[in-house]
Chain A
Amino acid sequence: MSSLILPAVLSGLTMGAVYALVALGLTLIYGVLHIINFAHGSLLMLALYAAYFLFVHMGLDPYLAIPILLPVFFCLGYVLQRWVIAPMSGGSEQNVLLVTLALALIIDNLALYFWTSNTRSVDIPYAYNTVEFLGAYLPLGRVIAFFAALAAAPLLWLFMTRTRTGSAIRAVAIEKRGAEIVGIDVNHTYAICFGIGTACVALAACLLLPTFYVTPQVGYTFVLVAFTTVVLGGMGSLPGALIAGLLLGVIESLCGLFLGESLGQIGIFTAFILILLFKPSGLLGRRAA
């Protein structure tokens, strides 16, 4: 059994890196807009389909689809926040939650209607070439996803701390009224932030597709894992989301190993309930519920 633990941990880490990437977008949106975006998983599902169709119809490798899908999903996120979520919710926290839930329902069910519930995956043989590491054999696609997700987190961090837009986003997050007074366009900044969060999802989708599958329901599973990651890491904390994502990937993998494949996700949701109950401020969060 012990010989199985290390491979399980490593495989959990590679999955966890993707969880972290999805959660980075979600935690960024939460940290700045203070909204929980229920449609986050549905946008991931949409990005997975986009990458899938680019591969099937145009033969575009999912990794090469990144420069196309990143800006497209940035714009999608921008438009959604600026012209749908913000005006429709009227600013109340509960309404934002409900509007994003409604968006998730619309996206998921339209996907079900147009693309049916068939499970689809792309056939990229090299993604399953194995890489040996410490006696564990990992698919190349997962290893690429791991390092790409790890690279994305510091890039996002640099963007937030070193650029003018990043400073504006942080200013709006801390003091909305004050940011407005010094001339920052708050609605524009909110939408940019939502766009970046959505672009993270597009990146995650391109990294995920070669070794994963896509169905219209896949978003729902991911959104719950992403919530857990965000809450565990501390709402709004980027480094927290990274650590929490990796941790949850390992928890899921180990639960799957010890309790059986179908119960792997139980570990994640139990962790979620426990964190929400005992430490809602998360590992690295400063603000309590």
Chain B
Amino acid sequence: MKPQSMGQAVLIALALIYLASLYFMSSPVWMGFTINALIVAVVALAWNITGGFGGMASFGHAAMYGTGAYASAILQVQYGINAWIAFAAGIVAGAAMGAFIGALAFRYGLKGSYFALVTLAFAEVLRICASSFAITGGGSGLQLRLDPGLSTLQFNDRTVVYTILLVIVALVMALTAWLKYSRFGAYLIAVRENEDAARALGIDTYRIKVKAMAISGAFAGLAGVLYLQVWLFIDSAVVYGSAVSIEALIGPIIGGAGTVWGPLIGTLGLHLLGEGAKHLLHNAPGLNFVLYAVVLICALRFLPQGLMGLAGRIGTFRKKEDDNA
């Protein structure tokens, strides 16, 4: 997690200064905007586990995000189950969906664009199902009853919500860092670099990949539950829509896939850019996605390792073969 160059230290410091400054700005607009960005950052961190470390680019992280959100919402709305239990259940549901998609896809050796397409198809099937059945509220979605309190995990004070999200993002990042330097992380990176060689060395690549999907699914499910608890309302287009899957992959690629800080920095940067453009262009719908896409194309061409990779080349602290933080 430690920066390895002056550039990365500056980048991380900028992100932290921005996040800390919100406590002094007392601007509900910026607070709401950053709360959204942090939820997206959690899905971005989830995508980063499989797409960044594992080299398996998913186009359908909404499948796990939405499953987490719907599992929690169904338990709370339809069965009146306590929000804390529903919260945990959402994470478990996300992990289970991730493991399920992974197990099916990897069992038949799908990779590259095939894997991207099958994840996309799963998200789409789930979206249509969620908009058609009674238990998911059909087309009108599910709404949590407004009842602020610790036992319902709903908070009126945006500063409290913001602080909780900051802690959760920090926890997910700490877990990511721990995974990266663990044996499992080394296996996963080995799978990304050369799967055949990894298997020849005795790594059970199938298990590693399914495990990565489960962890990634747990994070994505967590993000879905966070969305539900913050906004108290979900429907199929919001949580299973392609926008979730796209935002999950753009942030890490621009920030630096396979790094700990990249997904957060990429997501924050993109959202700031999108918000700025919105003000300049008077809230034109969809134009922030045009901007994201242009930035994505430029990043693919000019920043193959994202912002963290670029910053890593500026003012290197010491010679090291691995220049990702």
B111→A289 contact, CB < 8 A: yes
A interface SS class? helix
B108→A105 contact, CB < 8 A: no
B120→A224 contact, CB < 8 A: yes
Partner of A110 from B246, B290, B300 at Cβ < 8 Å: B290
Instruction: List B residues 275-325 near A (Cβ within 8 Å).
Output: 284-287, 289-290, 292-294, 296-297, 300-301, 304
Of the stretches A130-138, A153-161, A266-274, the one at the interface is A266-274
B284→A113 contact, CB < 8 A: yes
In whole angstroms, how far apart are the Cα atoms of A112 and B285 in the complex? 7
For A279, give the chain B residue with the smallest CB separation. Answer: B108
A276→B57 contact, CB < 8 A: no
Please judge, given known A-B contacts A224-B120, A227-B117, A262-B128, whether A98 and B296 are in contact too, CB under 8 Å. yes
For A117, give the chain B residue with the smallest CB separation. Answer: B285
Minimal beta-carbon separation of B71 from chain A (angstroms): 20
Minimal beta-carbon separation of A146 from chain B (angstroms): 26
Minimal beta-carbon separation of A233 from chain B (angstroms): 14
B117→A36 contact, CB < 8 A: yes
In whole angstroms, how far apart are the Cα atoms of A36 and B57 in the complex? 14
Instruction: List A residues 60-76 near B (Cβ within 8 Å).
Output: none
In whole angstroms, how far apart are the Cα atoms of A90 and B300 in the complex? 8
A106→B300 contact, CB < 8 A: no
B interface SS class? helix
B300→A98 contact, CB < 8 A: yes
Interface residues of A (CB under 8 A from B): 36, 87-90, 93-95, 97-99, 101-103, 105-106, 108-110, 112-113, 117, 220, 224, 227-228, 231, 260, 262-263, 265-266, 269-270, 272-273, 276-278, 280, 289
Extra 15 A-B pairs, beta carbons < 8 Å, given A277-B110, A289-B114: A87-B301, A93-B112, A97-B57, A98-B300, A105-B289, A109-B287, A113-B287, A117-B285, A228-B121, A262-B131, A262-B132, A270-B125, A273-B118, A273-B125, A277-B104
How many of chain B's residues have a CB under 8 angstroms from any CB in A?
42
A113→B121 contact, CB < 8 A: no
A269→B289 contact, CB < 8 A: no
A269→B125 contact, CB < 8 A: yes
For A36, A97, A231, A276, which residue has the most chain B Cβ atoms within 10 angstroms?
Answer: A276
For A265, give the chain B residue with the smallest CB separation. Answer: B128
In whole angstroms, how far apart are the Cα atoms of A99 and B301 in the complex? 9
Partner of B293 from A94, A97, A103 at Cβ < 8 Å: A103
In whole angstroms, how far apart are the Cα atoms of A276 and B121 in the complex? 10
Minimal beta-carbon separation of A220 from chain B (angstroms): 7
For B108, B111, B120, B300, which residue has the most chain A Cβ atoms within 10 angstroms?
Answer: B300
| B124 contacts the other chain (CB 8 A) | yes
A98→B113 contact, CB < 8 A: no
Report 26 cross-chain contacts, Cβ distance below 8 Å, ordered by A residue.
Answer: A36-B116, A87-B301, A88-B301, A89-B300, A93-B112, A94-B57, A97-B116, A98-B296, A99-B300, A101-B59, A102-B293, A102-B294, A105-B246, A262-B128, A263-B132, A266-B128, A273-B121, A273-B125, A276-B105, A276-B110, A276-B118, A276-B121, A277-B105, A277-B110, A289-B109, A289-B110
In whole angstroms, how far apart are the Cα atoms of A70 and B253 in the complex? 36
| B129 contacts the other chain (CB 8 A) | yes
A95→B300 contact, CB < 8 A: yes
Minimal beta-carbon separation of B216 from chain A (angstroms): 17
For A262, give the chain B residue with the smallest CB separation. Answer: B132
For B284, give the chain A residue with the smallest CB separation. Answer: A113
In whole angstroms, how far apart are the Cα atoms of A108 and B243 in the complex? 12
B296→A97 contact, CB < 8 A: no
In whole angstroms, how far apart are the Cα atoms of A99 and B304 in the complex? 13
Minimal beta-carbon separation of A247 from chain B (angstroms): 17
B59→A105 contact, CB < 8 A: no
